Chains A and B, each alone.
Chain A
Amino acid sequence: MKTFIPSKFIVERDPARCIQCQVCVNQCSFAVNSYDAADNEVMADENNCVGCHRCVVFCPTNALNIRKNTLDYRENYNWRPEAIEDILKQAETGGMLLTGMGNDKGYKVYWDHILLNASQVTNPSIDPLREPMELVTYLGRKPDRVEIDPVTHTLKNAMPPQVKLNVPVMFSAMSYGAVSLNVQHSLARAATEAGTFWNTGEGGLHASLYPYGDHTIVQVASGRFGVHSKYLNAGQVVEIKIGQGAKPGIGGHLPGEKVTAEVSRTRMIPIGSDALSPAPQHDIYSIEDLAQLVYALKEATGYRKLISVKIAAVHNVAAIASGMVRAGADIIAIDGLRGSTGAAPKVIRDNVGIPIEMALAAVDARLRQENIRNQASLVIAGGIRNSGDIAKAIALGADAVYIGTAALIALGCTACQQCHTGKCAWGICTSDLALTKRINPEIGSRRLVNLLRGWAIELKDILGGMGINALESLRGNRLHLRGIGLSDNELKILGIRPVGD
């Protein structure tokens, strides 16, 4: 069927600069560029272009530029190009629209409406370059009371298991199959070097990644792929995945084409078979059932590992989080509206869930009201872009954040939203071996460690400016936040005062 959808981008090739080297032909995994040997000319089929910039970055003579196709429809606020083209796609395929990455709609980004405080006159700021600054964070259940032996000055309580983060940033769950093994190697090495954690996602743990166990979170989700006793004990944290910000309430589906020999071995399913992750976990229909799985996993790991429970931020998130804490979770992970995905139905990604800022504020407040905030650590995810977002998240009550998209951008991702096609030209979200080798774990981990180092320095600067020398003192300290351009109700839910107040 002829498609009525116009191309999204225009490939501009400067003939004066193009040397017909065909790097762009080889780099483009969407088959945009091609070489005509008879005419010694490189050409472009722009219909296929996704705007990922791989060709632009690798063109040795800077001959390429990708521009948005400015082809205009008659102006109509309701029938904008996206609405028209989505209908065309469905009329041409009869399927549900599938997409990748996180919600790209213009919902309010609350981080951009929150401002941080700093010290002036009445209390001194601290210079982090010359004075000690503490970013270390321990995740895990904390005792209700701390008792110190007066003689030995040591802790008398038995401490539940804890994990230590040198920076309050972990890498979100991204499964092998969704991302490539080289991406997971980059994440695992970077987490180990930076003293934080990476997360296997629901795809098992490849044999070559077991050595990074001290910095690994293993995930148990509804498909139970690759879950066995060695896997459960391989990491420091076992995360039960209930939901994901990009697709709350929706299961997963790794198509058979992506189940290669290595993916099959790691997921423990036959090569080429569809991997279906059902929407619910069928042993969890209630908080009581969640408690049952939490304790099943504690039994299966000898009570040595932390159990995290991850949910998507939905309307009733505070009450759900309270139940999760009471079910025995050591970590509550909440993924917001802008959380990303390797593949999700577009209508779900774009319309379901609530922003993580609101969910975080509501959950932290609720757990404090109920005097159970100490019983679990709070980790948030879903659109964290920089250290400013992190500082605001910590002040709103988070113990740490997960980053997924930001980590992939560090590896080269340009957020072109083609993850679901398996053709990622940057070699990130694909299992095509010709593409996956584009990520070198040595270089990838360096880029990730650099990012975390940069953010750590910035966080120390932010703390120093506030006159605080430990991240712990900012945690849940909403007096350091002010809202700008927010309604009274939004301020109330965020638990912060407006600017100038």
Chain B
Amino acid sequence: MPANPALKKPHNSIIEINAQDIATHELNNQLKQAVAAGANKILMKNVCGQRYIGTDINSPVEIEIEGTPGNDLGSFMNGPRITVHGNAQDGCGNTMNEGEIVVHGHAGDITGLSSRGGRIFIREGVGYRTGIHMKEYGNKKPIIVIGGAAQDFFGEYMAGGVLVLLALNMKDSDYHRTRYMGTGMHGGVIYMRGRLESHQLGREVGTAELNGADHEVLSGLVGQFAGHFDLNADKILRHEFTKLFPLYHRPYGRLYAY
């Protein structure tokens, strides 16, 4: 790979990349070069639709993005901490193993699909099938906290991890519009604000009030969320939350004839 003149080193370990008019593959090459050059922090400016940012980087480097990164931001990601000053598109945190994504805006469909670890904080709302097939293993436990509301199939097939839906854009008396919430859920937990009719829930989902341990998890995560977006955690936590949990760990146990 030729040396890249766009790689500037303004400070010791901060490298700046101007993504203007650079194609996805080339941009990701520059990102990998910057990590290889020992950067602790990479500032990506003028990002506009380039995909897969953060993929194949296996270190806890900090990546700051100005603009709108494309689909599959941090897909298969294993370590980096990404902050987006803008919106994320579809597939943000797809099959993520470790790391953190903080989006100062919205995110699209399938946010955190099949993730096994890492944390995703979205300041505003998310699209369809957020947190679908999240799973946890050992000390790995994926977490997604959403400030706004979500579209249908939120937490579908969920097998592990924690989803938090704060719905800060809604009043306590407002009903969510999402349908099929948690359908096929067989692990993990969802904490949510706002009201739901029972038909909006998947058949495999139970609802309960939060217990002491739940409150502890929730207040920790809301604390982190509020820290990222400069919000008042106590004010958020004063709202009423509902816990959604899987009724069965084997929802499809009695399906077959042998």
Q: Using CB atoms and an 8 Å cutoff, list the residues of chain A in contact with chain B.
A: 89-90, 92-98, 222-224, 227-229, 232, 253, 255-256, 264, 268-270, 273-274, 276, 278, 282-283, 292, 295-297, 299-302, 420-421
Count of B interface residues, CB-CB < 8 Å: 47
What residues of chain A lie closer than 8 Å to B28, measured between beta carbons? 299
5 A-B pairs in the complex with CB atoms less than 8 angstroms apart: A93-B258, A94-B257, A223-B114, A224-B113, A270-B160
14 more contacts with CB within 8 A, not counting A95-B255, A224-B113, are A93-B256, A95-B256, A95-B257, A98-B258, A223-B114, A268-B135, A270-B137, A273-B249, A274-B251, A282-B156, A283-B110, A292-B71, A292-B72, A295-B52
What residues of chain A lie closer than 8 Å to B135, measured between beta carbons? 268-269
What residues of chain A lie closer than 8 Å to B184, measured between beta carbons? 276
Q: Which 3 A-B pairs have the closest CB atoms?
A: A95-B257, A224-B114, A93-B257
What residues of chain B lie closer than 8 Å to A295, measured between beta carbons? 24, 51-52
What residues of chain A lie closer than 8 Å to B30, measured between beta carbons? none
Question: Do A296 and B257 touch across chains, with their CB atoms under 8 A apart?
Answer: no
Question: Do B56 and A228 touch across chains, with their CB atoms under 8 A apart?
Answer: no
Question: Do A296 and B249 touch across chains, with their CB atoms under 8 A apart?
Answer: no
Q: With A and B bound together, what is the CA distance between A94 and B72 in angstroms?
A: 42
For the complex formed, measure the closest distance between the CB of B254 and the CB atoms of chain A, giving whole angstroms: 7
Closest to B137 in A: A268
Closest to A270 in B: B137
Question: Do B255 and A299 touch across chains, with their CB atoms under 8 A apart?
Answer: no
Q: With A and B bound together, what is the CA distance between A316 and B136 in angstroms?
A: 38
What residues of chain A lie closer than 8 Å to B129, measured between beta carbons? 282
Q: With A and B bound together, what is the CA distance between A292 and B55 in angstroms?
A: 13
Q: With A and B bound together, what is the CA distance between A307 and B97 in angstroms?
A: 21
Question: Do A278 and B250 touch across chains, with their CB atoms under 8 A apart?
Answer: no
Q: With A and B bound together, what is the CA distance between A232 and B95 in angstroms?
A: 12
Identify the interface centre among A300, A301, A421: most chain B CB within 10 Å of its CB: A300
Q: A98-B258, A283-B113 are in contact. Are A300 and B250 (CB under 8 A)?
A: no
For the complex formed, measure the closest distance between the CB of B176 and the CB atoms of chain A, giving whole angstroms: 21
* A229 CB contact (under 8 Å) in B58, B72, B138: B58
Q: With A and B bound together, what is the CA distance between A223 and B95 in angstroms?
A: 10
What residues of chain B lie closer than 8 Å to A227, measured between beta carbons? 76, 95, 114
Question: Do B249 and A274 touch across chains, with their CB atoms under 8 A apart?
Answer: yes
B143 on the interface (CB 8 Å rule)?
Answer: no
Q: With A and B bound together, what is the CA distance between A253 and B252 in angstroms?
A: 9
Q: A296-B51, A296-B76 are in contact. Are A98 and B137 (CB under 8 A)?
A: no
What residues of chain A lie closer than 8 Å to B140, measured between beta carbons? 268
Question: Do A268 and B255 touch across chains, with their CB atoms under 8 A apart?
Answer: no
Closest to A251 in B: B157
What residues of chain B lie closer than 8 Å to A95, measured between beta carbons? 254-258
What residues of chain A lie closer than 8 Å to B157, measured between beta carbons? 276, 278
* A96 CB contact (under 8 Å) in B97, B159, B253, B257: B257
List B residues 109-142 near A (Cβ within 8 Å): 110, 113-114, 116, 129, 132-133, 135-138, 140
Q: A228-B78, A228-B97, A274-B186 are in contact. Are A98 and B256 (CB under 8 A)?
A: yes
Closest to B129 in A: A282
For the complex formed, measure the closest distance between the CB of B89 and the CB atoms of chain A, giving whole angstroms: 10
Question: Do B133 and A296 touch across chains, with their CB atoms under 8 A apart?
Answer: no
Question: Do B257 and A97 touch across chains, with their CB atoms under 8 A apart?
Answer: yes
* B25 CB contact (under 8 Å) in A232, A299, A300: A299
What residues of chain B lie closer than 8 Å to A97, measured between beta carbons? 256-257
Q: A223-B133, A269-B159 are in contact. Are A421 and B76 (CB under 8 A)?
A: no
Q: With A and B bound together, what is the CA distance between A354 and B252 in angstroms?
A: 29
What residues of chain A lie closer than 8 Å to B58, measured between beta carbons? 229
What residues of chain A lie closer than 8 Å to B76, measured between beta carbons? 227-229, 232, 296-297, 300
Question: Do B132 and A296 touch across chains, with their CB atoms under 8 A apart?
Answer: no
For the complex formed, measure the closest distance between the CB of A243 and the CB atoms of chain B, giving whole angstroms: 18
